[in-house]
């Protein structure tokens, strides 16, 4: 039995109303990093790509040298081209201003990234001076000014990557993150940022997810070695301060002996936060790779570490994929109580209740999600089962003749949602969000049950916004399931673009 898995949560952002950043951990050299969110295959940042001067940290130096040389030699130059304007971290600074400290520049970059994440979460675009795009531009200027002073600053390269990602410049962000890792391949925060980049922001592919998962596991190993080193050195274990602000392990200033316990406590808090986010990413990556059963352990560890609502949400998704519907219902119901305004929790609770047969309550939860986030959850297309059947017939007639002949060898069924017995017939279980299913064995193999293909109307309608998109998805689903009839597995169908 094979199915086309089109999972809503793997292509949509998880906008839980908690203190999380949609990009990654900003780097502050003198304070703990803020928490971040990870979504299960999050959307790209909404901000458009913006061209910012001095994208290379030495652009202004090279431009100046080139300009001086041209004038000295009396070379002709294009009067229509203006030199790039060098953006500075602090708008009031000029070329004659004293250099800002690295700590000050890194702090300001990190703060701007954090503010941009907050603006994106609450969608406050009224004040143009503090839109996410402008804040990311300011963060980029601060990161690049840091690099002009100290080109091997891991924190600066990391912040530059996050700012570029926020501006939609993914290739440049990947290069900046790679540069940071080239300087320090064992830096846990940079490994975390790289994992976030590959798992949630680059084009969603199995290869990218596996690369992100490798970064997660390397970072976890680094943290384990760090804890083991602390143990063997018998460092003191003081009680955690209520407000750890004074410094971080990466602070450039030196601490006296009396400050060491606080510094160690701050490091413990930071490491705990980083580990929780790594565990969250590990669970998300394993889920995206179809390894839902393996994903539960890291997600539950993340919840135990920091009581993360994001990890609770991801755990609910995994339970839903494993068809543990009652457990998923309890998880999402609790989450809607903890975060009442989170549209995604209400939406997922609605899907679970729908599978459990509680249609009226399910529709109330789905309607709540549409009200809270209408752009993420638009009204489904009004396509009745009769209209759906007619549309499927039209797409069958448009198939190539060999595929139409294959389709005559199976029974075609149209229904609203998958049956739980189909989802749990084999291991691993199939997700309730599948849009199509092939029952039986491939042609040429003896089969004790009639071969059939099933299309699921409601699940198909949830992943499209227009009738043309619905037609295209029906056609792709039919060809995918017919591929299974011919013995192709999911990897081969994915390679053919029939995922």
What confidence tens digit (pLDDT) does each residue in 450-476 have?
899 999 999 999 999 999 999 999 999
Q: How much is the pLDDT for 428?
A: 87
Spatial distance between the Cα atoms of 323 and 219, rounded to a whole number of angstroms: 31
CATH topology match: 19-56+89-238+260-294 vs 301-372: yes
Residue 15 has a pLDDT of 32
For the domain covering 301-372, report its CATH number: 1.25.40.10
CA distance 119 to 107: 18
- In the predicted model, is pLDDT for residue 83 greater than 90? no
Banded pLDDT at 492 (limits 50, 70, 90): confident
What Å distances lie between residue 394 and 181, 398, 481, CA to CA?
Answer: 53, 6, 17
pLDDT per position as a tens digit, 188-198: 999 999 999 99
Length of the chain in terms of residues written: 499
d(C-alpha 437, C-alpha 424), whole Å: 13
- Supply 95's token pair: 């070329």
Model confidence at 28, pLDDT cuts 50, 70, 90, reads low
What does the mean pLDDT of the chain come to? 79
pLDDT of residue 10: 36
Q: Are 261 and 241 in contact (CB under 8 A)?
A: no
In this prediction, residues 425-434 reach a mean pLDDT of: 92
CA distance 375 to 378: 6
Measure the CA–CA gap between 102 and 28, rounded to whole angstroms.
Answer: 10
| pLDDT at 119 (0 to 100) | 74
Residues 6+ positions from 226 with CB-CB distance below 8 Å? 188, 271
Asked whether the beta carbons of 78 and 197 are under 8 A apart, the reply is no
Q: Tell me phi and psi for residue 426, to 5 degrees.
A: -125, 170
Lowest mean pLDDT among 111-115, 208-212, 455-459: 111-115
pLDDT at residue number 497: 75
Res. 3 pLDDT band, cuts 50 70 90: low
Helix (H, G, I), strand (E, B) or coil at 282: helix
Tell me which of 3.30.2010.20, 3.40.50.720, 3.40.50.2300, 3.40.50.1370 is the CATH number of domain 383-495.
Answer: 3.30.2010.20
pLDDT band at residue 85, thresholds of 50, 70 and 90? confident
Q: Look at residue 489 in the predicted model and tell me its pLDDT.
A: 79
Nearest to 454 by CA among 426, 477, 429: 477
Q: Compute the average pLDDT of residues 35-46.
A: 35
pTM of the model: 0.74
Structural domain spans, the chain: 19-56+89-238+260-294, 301-372, 383-495
Q: 19-56+89-238+260-294 adopts what CATH topology?
A: 1.25.40
**Cβ-Cβ contacts under 8 Å for 93 (sequence gap 6 or more):** 100
Rounded to whole angstroms, what are the CA distances from 105 to 29, 40, 119, 192, 269?
9, 32, 21, 22, 24
Q: Give me the pLDDT at residue 227, please.
A: 77
* Confidence grade of residue 26 (pLDDT, cut at 50, 70, 90): low
Q: Is the pLDDT of residue 20 over 60?
A: no
Alpha-carbon gap, residue 380 to 385, rounded angstroms? 13
The per-residue pLDDT for 165 is 94
Confidence of residue 264 (pLDDT cuts 50, 70, 90): low
As a whole number, mean pLDDT of residues 349-371 equals 97
- Measured CA to CA, the distance from residue 224 to residue 154 in angstroms comes to 21
The whole-number pLDDT of residue 14 equals 34
**Average pLDDT rounded to a whole number, residues 35-48:** 35
Q: What pLDDT does residue 52 have?
A: 31
Residue range 322-329: average pLDDT? 98
Cα 316 to Cα 320: distance, rounded to the nearest angstrom: 6
* 477's tokens: 């689903």
**Which residues, in sequence order, are bridge partners of residue 456?**
415
- 100-109, 215-224, 253-262, 306-315: least confident range: 253-262
Quick one: CA dihedral 39, 41, 43, 49, positive or negative? positive
**Residue-level pLDDT at 2:** 60
């Amino acid at each position: 039995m094979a199915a086309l898995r089109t999972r809503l949560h793997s292509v949509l952002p998880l906008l839980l109303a908690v203190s999380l950043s949609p990009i990654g951990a900003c780097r502050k050299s003198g304070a703990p990093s803020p928490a971040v969110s990870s979504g299960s295959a999050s959307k790209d940042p909404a901000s458009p790509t913006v061209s910012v001067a001095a994208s290379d940290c030495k652009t202004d130096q090279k431009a100046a040298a080139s300009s001086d040389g041209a004038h000295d030699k009396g070379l002709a130059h294009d009067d229509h081209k203006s030199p790039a304007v060098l953006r500075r971290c602090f708008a009031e600074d000029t070329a004659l201003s004293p250099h800002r400290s690295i700590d000050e520049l890194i702090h300001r970059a990190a703060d701007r990234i954090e503010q941009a994440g907050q603006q994106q979460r609450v969608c406050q675009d009224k004040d143009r001076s503090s839109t996410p795009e402008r804040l990311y531009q300011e963060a980029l200027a601060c990161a690049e000014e840091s690099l002009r002073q100290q080109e091997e600053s891991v924190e600066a390269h990391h912040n530059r990557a996050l700012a570029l990602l926020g501006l939609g410049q993914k290739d440049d962000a990947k290069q900046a993150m790679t540069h940071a890792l080239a300087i320090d391949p064992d830096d846990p925060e940079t490994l975390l940022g790289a994992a976030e980049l590959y798992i949630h922001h680059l084009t969603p592919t199995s290869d990218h997810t596996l690369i992100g998962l490798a970064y997660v596991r390397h970072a976890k190993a680094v943290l384990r070695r760090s804890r083991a080193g602390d143990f063997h050195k018998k460092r003191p274990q003081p009680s955690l301060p209520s407000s750890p602000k004074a410094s971080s392990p990466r602070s450039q200033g030196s601490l006296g002996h009396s400050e060491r316990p606080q510094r160690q406590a701050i490091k413990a808090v930071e490491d705990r936060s980083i580990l929780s986010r790594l565990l969250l990413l590990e669970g998300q990556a394993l889920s995206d790779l179809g390894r839902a059963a393996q994903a539960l352990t890291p997600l539950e560890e993340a919840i135990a570490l920091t009581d993360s609502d994001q990890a609770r949400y991801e755990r609910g998704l995994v339970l839903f994929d494993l068809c543990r519907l009652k457990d998923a219902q309890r998880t999402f119901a609790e989450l809607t109580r903890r975060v009442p305004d989170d549209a995604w929790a209400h939406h997922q609770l609605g899907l679970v209740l729908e599978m459990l047969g509680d249609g009226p309550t399910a529709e109330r939860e789905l309607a709540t999600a549409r009200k809270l986030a209408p752009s993420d959850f638009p009204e489904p297309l009004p396509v009745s089962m009769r209209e759906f059947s007619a549309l499927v017939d039209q797409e069958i007639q448009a198939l190539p003749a060999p595929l139409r002949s294959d389709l005559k060898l199976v029974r075609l069924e149209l229904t609203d949602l998958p049956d739980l017995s189909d989802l749990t017939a084999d291991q691993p279980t199939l997700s309730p969000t599948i849009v199509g299913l092939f029952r039986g064995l491939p042609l040429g193999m003896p089969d004790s049950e009639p071969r059939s293909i099933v299309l699921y109307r409601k699940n198909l309608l949830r992943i499209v916004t227009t009738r043309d998109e619905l037609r295209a998805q029906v056609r792709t689903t039919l060809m995918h399931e017919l591929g299974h009839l011919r013995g192709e597995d999911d990897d081969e169908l994915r390679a053919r673009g029939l995922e």
